[in-house]
A and B are shown apart, each in its own frame.
Chain A
Amino acid sequence: MSVADIRFGEIEEGVLTLTLNRPERRNALRNQTLRELGDALAAAATTDAVRAVVIQGNERCFAAGADLEEMRHHDAVSLQQDERPALWKRIDDFNKPLIAAVNGYALGAGLELVLHCDLVVAGEGTLLGLPEIKLGIMPGAGGTQRLSRQVGQQTAMQMVLTGEPISAERAHALGLVGQICVPALTAEYARRLARQVAAQAPLAVQAAKGAIKACQETSLSQGLRQERQAFVWLAGTEDRNEGINAFLEKRAPNYRGK
């Protein structure tokens, strides 16, 4: 089966762009899509040339949800055995920066994918929501958990229980979206941001990403301990010396990921 739900861009300045490529289904995230995405990220994780990944949809739609055709055939038993949670886990496990460029709609699984990303750039007028409740179901890929942690209980309850989306502007004010811009520049600005991250020392970036993500998993004291460990570990890298030397010598650092 030669399906390409994901389109690969060229790697430019350390940035790999992955484009959700089922415009006719408004980029609905079927298992196949998540599988391809997971494969792409697994490959990117071990490719030195890739230092950050941008996920984008098209100008009209990021991803409008899960694939309902696929979902309607499931019952409780088959859902129990569904590979989908494992597919999401692979995306969550990606250790390099993951940047979402979001235009149009990020709904249901689409928003859950956004919530898996480390940085989010959204076009003005984008709608972000979890409308699952309107179908008699609920978010099943971290939506209730990640959203509550990011925006607090009131907003999460409102979004999840009414299913009504919020605007990019509101999402920006809530901290769900890091940057908003005119829609025609969303993808470009996401790549700029990605390039900026990709220019940093790769090991430091990975360690920092891990430390921030650990914040959701641990207590403060445990988190501080983990942070300190990562901090000390970086002292053993060549890039750390290069970074400090370059700063003192007033030149651009040349990081090699070692």
Chain B
Amino acid sequence: MEYQHIECYLEGAVGVLVLNRPAQLNSFNEAMHREVAAILKDWDRNPEVRAVLLTGKGRGFCAGQDLGDRAVNSDQAAPDLGQSIDRYYNPLISRITGMAKPVICAVNGVAAGAGANIALACDIVIAGRSASFIQAFCRLGLVPDSGGTWFLPRLVGRARAMALALQGDKVSAEQARDMGMIWQVVDDEALQSVAMQQAQHLARQPTYGLGLIKQAIHRAADNSLAEQLELERDLQRLAGRSEDYREGVDAFLNKRTPEYKGR
């Protein structure tokens, strides 16, 4: 498949996905959605890919939906925004959160609207110092989508989530880190190398186990403690049967560095 709106390549076991419509701040149109979906689906199935790094080209990370794609004329019937959510945004968020390998997001600039929430759907979010997050939806009369209303209160608490979503103000990378919305802030120049280092590190870890951890943490959001304890038991049962667990224990007992295969 030829990609026009994204760049994607493997660096070792890391799949690097760069949103590549810099002139439009990497906002999504349908073609870009299809390309992102295709490559993520491919990497999800490919055992050679053991971590994914998502970032944007140019000065922005992602400005969400390309509004040029959705021009609304007063004489036309209202568009069905639910349709593109059903078809593109929701599957994208499910694909990121459901992928059984870590997804690292390097937020290189403004992340607005769905762009912000796509970043928040990733497992580890690292932002450049000049990056920012904006829940821009309210300014257009819309509701935060792509999981925004789900992620935000869980990440920063309801009080902050409400203000962020109702006011739509710009949040700096450092503010975002301080309120627990993202993991880390680094200097702009260092962003790509720090994110890549982190991705390369994770790509050498017990991928299968990491996938189970990811599943457990996501499921914790809607499980009771009793249900979650049972889920932990089930996932641990599976983890305990992995080759990597044996390798880890063996390496520990023999005081050597483990070599994980991701299964």
Contacts and interface: CB of A to CB of B under 8 A. Distances in A.
Nearest to B98: A125
A185 interface: yes
Contacts of B235: 182
Nearest to B237: A185
Contacts of B234: 181-182, 185
B162 interface: no
Query: Which range contains the number of A residues in contact with the other chain?
Result: under 10
A68 interface: no
A113 B219 CA distance: 30
Interface string B221-258: 00000000001001101100000000000000000000
A185 B236 CA distance: 11
A184 interface: yes
Contacts of A181: 234
Nearest to A124: B219
Nearest to A125: B98
Nearest to A185: B234
A194 to B, nearest CB: 18
Nearest to A181: B234
A43 B231 CA distance: 37
B219 to A, nearest CB: 9
Contacts of A184: 238
A32 to B, nearest CB: 33
A185 B238 CA distance: 8
Nearest to B230: A181
A19 to B, nearest CB: 20
Of B231, B234, B238, the most chain A CB neighbours within 10 A belong to: B234
A41 B159 CA distance: 60
B60 to A, nearest CB: 35
9 contacts: A181-B234, A182-B231, A182-B234, A182-B235, A182-B238, A184-B238, A185-B234, A185-B237, A185-B238
A-B pairs, 8 with minimum CB distance: A182-B234, A184-B238, A185-B234, A181-B234, A182-B235, A185-B237, A182-B238, A185-B238
Given A182-B234, A182-B235, A184-B238, 6 more contacts: A181-B234, A182-B231, A182-B238, A185-B234, A185-B237, A185-B238
